[in-house]
Amino acid sequence: MAVEEHEQARVASEASEARIVAVETWRPALQPNVVFVLVHAEDGTCGLGDAFYGAGAVETHIHDHIAPLLFGAPDAIPERVSQLCAPYAGYQGAGVELRANGAIDIALWDLLGKRAGMPVVELLGGPVRDEIEVYNTCAGPSYVSNSSRQEVSNWGLGANGDYEDLHAFLTSPGALAKDLLSEGIRGMKIWPFDTAAERTGGRDISAADLEQGIAIVSAIRDAVGEEMDVMVELHGLWSRRAATKICDALTPYKPSWVEDPIRSDAVDALAALRADVDVQLACGETCVGRRGFLPLLDRAAIDVATVDVGWTGGLTEARKVASLADAFGVVVAPHDCSGPVSFAACVHLVLSQPNGLVQETVRSFMRTWYTECVVGLPEVIDGRIHRPTAPGLGVDLSESLRTSPDVSRRRTSRS
């Protein structure tokens, strides 16, 4: 056999080994909003991904629509599969299709890293730094576990247990800030104005509600001064008028940023707000891909891009978002508060990007249901995460999850 023919045969053999033969989904009862996705290749390797919000609908889309596409694909290359799975109905916005695609894409990157024997950060071009600082989003373990709505009734308040950071920031913010600093965590994100937004529909905010929210930020500053970076999340609940009032009231307390003051597709309003206020604006966890971020970047409407790796369609698209943001001189701070595999993917992404600023973490998740579901999570040590070295994303399903009777499993195999 000629050398050229031999090389063609080798490539064909490797492509065959990379073909997808089965897709599994696992939905644990301990967190109804998450679905884990296992993508099995012909050579026996398996890639792991996850999706958060609307787990049942995401699962159905994966098995009914994506699995047949994967089985018909010539290989498991993330970029090719990303193009193959791009839904016509999902061009203009996020939803079940994008979350399903994101979970599959993350699993394919994990698979690619395992087959190459390399961590995903190396496949993304290599780390530009060996560690990244984190901040703590002050949720509790039961935060957004009952439905897909971002509302006070889904905060998980009233649950008893460790790391009830949401209850703590509402009732003892200064003590919480000191506790986080004692662990080396120098950033915290809180949302003290959401209850006011639910009362008014976000149209306006009263002086009393404004004062109540500001008192929480003030208590943090009184307790720890400027040692703690404070991010204030507004969840896109406000009108431009109300958001301006909140941002102006926050300015003397020097927040690191105000996040999603207005919904992210209100580009003109965000750009006008950014020009009017003296605080940095962060936005992007609900934006979809480069086309979702481009208007915000082009209008200089944001200072920090909080891309969600899964919700934007996976690592394949998220790295392009980061590169686009870099072209506009905007830093990226990937969104977490979703699932443990997506969190690991965020770490690989932010370490590989020159404009990576900080990584969001949720210690109440990391120390409860994240670690109950997976092993190999990137560790936070003294407020920083160090570069992962294990092949792929470095995480795997825990033995307790694998043997748990409280997990709904579904498998689709290639015929």
350 plus 409 within the same structural domain: no
**The token pair that represents 240 in the structure block:** 């431009």
Tell me: the pLDDT tens digits for 42-55?
A: 999 999 999 999 99
167 plus 285 within the same structural domain: yes
169 plus 80 within the same structural domain: no
In three-state secondary structure terms, 317 is: helix
65 plus 162 within the same structural domain: no
pLDDT score for 17: 65
368 plus 405 within the same structural domain: no
Share the mean pLDDT of the chain: 93
126 plus 113 within the same structural domain: no
pLDDT reading at 395 higher than 70: yes
Residue 15: pLDDT band (50, 70, 90) is: very low
pLDDT score for 160: 65
Tally of CB atoms within 10 A around 39: 28
> Count of domains in the chain?
2
pLDDT score for 89: 66
Tell me: the pLDDT tens digits for 143-169?
A: 988 766 777 887 888 766 779 999 999
Tell me: the pLDDT tens digits for 289-320?
A: 999 999 999 999 999 999 999 999 999 999 99
CATH of the domain at 237: 3.20.20.120
Tell me: the pLDDT tens digits for 94-110?
A: 789 999 999 999 999 99
216 plus 338 within the same structural domain: yes
Task: Give 384's strand partners.
Answer: 133, 381
**Alpha helices, H only, 18-124:** 55-61, 67-72, 78-85, 96-116, 120-123
200 plus 111 within the same structural domain: no
Domain with 327, as residue range(s), is 121-393
27 plus 136 within the same structural domain: no
Tell me: the pLDDT tens digits for 230-263?
A: 999 999 999 999 999 999 999 999 999 999 999 9
**The token pair that represents 329 in the structure block:** 């001189």
**Cα distance between residue 340 and residue 39, in whole Å:** 17
150 plus 87 within the same structural domain: no
195 plus 279 within the same structural domain: yes
| Integer CA distances (angstroms), 140 to 170, 231, 266, 274, in order | 12, 17, 30, 31
CATH of the domain at 57: 3.30.390.10
pLDDT score for 183: 97
In three-state secondary structure terms, 399 is: helix
